[in-house]
Structure 1
Amino acid sequence: MKTIILAAAAALFAFTSPLHAKAPAPEWSIAIHGGAGTLDPDRMTTEQRAAYEAALQNALDAGKAVLAEGGSAMDAVKAAILPLEDDPLFNAGRGAVFTWEGRNELDASIMDGRDRSAGAVTGVTTIKNPILLAEKVRTDSPHVFLMGEGAEQFASEQQLETAPPEWFATERRLESLERMKANALSAIDVDLKFGTVGAVALDQDGNLAAGTSTGGMTGKRWGRIGDAPVIGAGTYADNRACAVSATGWGEYFIRVGVAAEICSRIRMVRAQQAFKSGGEHREWLEREGYAQGIADAVMKEVKDLGGDGGVILVTPEGQALYSFNTTGMYRGRATSDGLNEVAIFGEGAAE
């Protein structure tokens, strides 16, 4: 029995220590998303599709540049999310949806896989780039999660850039709110998709990070908070497992704890494989589709409860993956071994 315990302890120690790889490729990887939902190619013009694909590639390129130059996963995540927050095509920052009262209320969160430090904000209305405020909460406050006026005050103390209400507001989003009220529709009927944006990354030092930013759901009321700013639901990163950013019907993602659930299951598989192989397990982890299977299983659980959406994730081996239970997800991924793609429809959906 003592021998077995010592062997298990040695295996687990090997698992939590840096993996010894014969060919540690890719050196870096990144994945991004701009929302998931009921996306129909027949309802999107060639010009609209080109605009979304260009915006996704622009964000992907910003994150790639950081990683290719040896920058950190945290910096890459921020670099990728910033242009998505500034682009009115997406429901985050500029272009955010309206609350029932006609305001744009913004949420964001970010997490570092090295030490699982995290920062999150909800219900802010004047912060030009909420992901930068979430990062300041992580690095310059003793807290993890700030809301509303308190978050705004903290942002002022940190001298973060602000913007007036008209910066965030767009006619398209206002029309969605008006149509929702006039026809007694749900946010799902109006939006057809969840426009949350996010990024996950692995850097050349083997560190993981994740970030998510959103305007929430059209017509949200009573201070509703979705999964995007909730660490463990919409965002999670742990160097021992993965980095995840989610987009979807937040109430269900919170109930499942989607981001942390995926990472927990991946970490368990990695620990089991480390024990079986004495720590020499990278080749198996790279070869087997364990991470994709776990992400698909969790997204199926969301669907079985009645929720829609998707996730992006990267693993310590550099796999950049998607899983969604909707007809489409605005997404992109790139790795140092040459993979570069952006997509909107089909392929990668969890049944």
Structure 2
Amino acid sequence: MKQITTILLLLLFLSSCKNDKKQKTKNTKDIKQNEFAIIIHGGAGTILKKNMTPEKEKAYQQKLEEAIKAGYSILKKGGSSTKAVEASIHIMENSPLFNAGKGAVFTNAETNEMDASIMEGKTLNAGAVAGVKTVKNPISAAIQVMNNSNHVLLSGIGADNFAKEKGLDIMDPSYFYTEKRFKSLQRIKNKEKTQLDHDEKSAFYDTDIKDSKFGTVGCVALDKKGNITAGTSTGGMTNKRWNRIGDSPIIGAGTYANNATCGVSSTGWGEYFIRGVVAHDIAAQMEYKNVSLKEATNDVIQNKLTNLGGTGGIIALDKNGNMSFEFNTAGMYRASMNDKGELIVKIYKE
């Protein structure tokens, strides 16, 4: 009898220790890390230091710093996360360094077709545009769709006309021309022609897609009121055909935000991010499995996306200001700032 009592007491003690450990883990996860915070990305892919000149590296670092500081300034003054996201993405859309806005890549038809999306975690309201050709800042068009229409996603000429009606900056298509992007298209076209001449097989629009740089830009911000906003903007894939649309304007794939969990912006091979509903999957794991942001992002990118055959990465920010930069490529242009003003800018995989 005495032995049974001893065993029961031991079991109760072990059970208590286990519960205490769980409680401590949960409490640690729920601690407020930052009152407000902001993170950005400028695309992921085969970004290697050996291929980067010091001048080019510095240019990217300076532009990432400029972009994140624009959004941070708004947050510090008590502004909304949506305004911060828009401001940061504007800087990157206006730079030819990134595949968004001014730096958008060319389609097979030698045009520029851009996509963007935005989502607010407080209301789950969202807006997106796809295939716009004249909007200087597609992220602003996405915000207009969210705030001033009954829709979530507009595309093509309709989206361009909507943006014009709302008074956004409309540019002649020639504004989006950059020599670097045009030459990239010509190299891929020449490669396709060579392949067709040799084996008469139909070439995919990017034969080196697994070794490509996905220059999509994105931002996630948490403001002082506890509201999370996520936004993404892109020019898509070089040499894309048939009005192809990737994950960037797809809510739940390229962009997702929910105050109860986190905000996510994606960059990579869009078809796989759509199939994996990557951005929403991260938030869903946090909600249903009660795991941390880091656990969710690691599982979705390093396990689920990788096993599908997809490449790319995400930036994510949870309701407590925890940050995650997860990618399965050689590098990702990225930066972060917390409520203490600490700035981190990185390019390569550590």
Shared fold, TM over 0.5: yes
Q: For 1:150-186, what per-residue CA distance to the aligned partner results, in whole angstroms no more than 9, with x for missing partners?
A: 1112112111111111211100000010000101285
Specify the alignment match of 1:299 in structure 2: 301
Question: Are 1:222 and 2:242 matched, yes or no?
Answer: yes
Q: 5 Å matches for 1:21-100? A: 24-100=32-108
In structure 2, the CA distance between the partners of 1:256 and 1:321, relative to structure 1 (3 Å rule), is: same
The two structures have a TM-score, normalised by structure 2, of 0.86
Question: Are 1:121 and 2:141 matched, yes or no?
Answer: no
Q: Which has the larger radius of gyration?
A: 2
Q: Is the 8 A contact 2:31 2:320 kept in 1?
A: no
Specify the alignment match of 2:208 in structure 1: 189
Segments of 5+ residues of structure 2 without an aligned counterpart are: 1-26, 193-202
Letter in 1 for 2:51: R
Specify the alignment match of 2:280 in structure 1: 260
Identity percentage of aligned residues: 49
Q: For 1:208-246, what per-residue CA distance to the aligned partner results, in whole angstroms no more than 9, with x for missing partners?
A: 000000000000001100000000000000000100000
Q: SS in structure 1 opposite 2:208?
A: helix
Aligned residue pairs total: 310
Q: Is the 8 A contact 1:67 1:73 kept in 2?
A: yes
Question: Distance in 1 between the 2:33 and 2:152 partners?
Answer: 33
Question: Distance in 2 between the 1:40 and 1:188 partners?
Answer: 20
Q: SS in structure 1 opposite 2:319?
A: coil
Offset, 1:303: 1.3
Letter in 2 for 1:335: N
Q: Is the 8 A contact 2:47 2:330 kept in 1?
A: yes
Q: 5 Å matches for 1:105-184? A: 105-184=113-192
Q: Is the 8 A contact 1:198 1:245 kept in 2?
A: yes
Question: Distance in 2 between the 1:188 and 1:117 partners?
Answer: 37
Question: Distance in 2 between the 1:328 and 1:264 partners?
Answer: 26
Farther-moved stretch of structure 1 (66-75 vs 261-270):
261-270
Q: Once superposed, what is the RMSD of the aligned Cα atoms?
A: 1.7
Offset, 1:296: 1.1
Specify the alignment match of 2:319 in structure 1: 316
Specify the alignment match of 2:14 in structure 1: none
Q: For 1:252-281, what per-residue CA distance to the aligned partner results, in whole angstroms no more than 9, with x for missing partners?
A: 0000000001011112244xx8xxxxxxxx
Question: Distance in 2 between the 1:187 and 1:205 partners?
Answer: 43
Question: Distance in 1 between the 2:250 and 2:130 partners?
Answer: 9
Question: Distance in 1 between the 2:258 and 2:100 partners?
Answer: 25
Specify the alignment match of 1:10 in structure 2: none
Q: SS in structure 1 opposite 2:103?
A: coil
Question: Distance in 2 between the 1:90 and 1:216 partners?
Answer: 11
Question: Distance in 1 between the 2:80 and 2:262 partners?
Answer: 15
Offset, 1:337: 2.9
Letter in 1 for 2:239: G
The two structures have a TM-score, normalised by structure 1, of 0.85
Q: SS in structure 1 opposite 2:89?
A: helix
Letter in 2 for 1:49: E
Specify the alignment match of 1:331 in structure 2: 334
Question: Distance in 2 between the 1:250 and 1:192 partners?
Answer: 12
Runs of 4+ in 1 over 2 A off after TM superposition: 21-25, 185-192
Letter in 2 for 1:70: G
Specify the alignment match of 1:242 in structure 2: 262
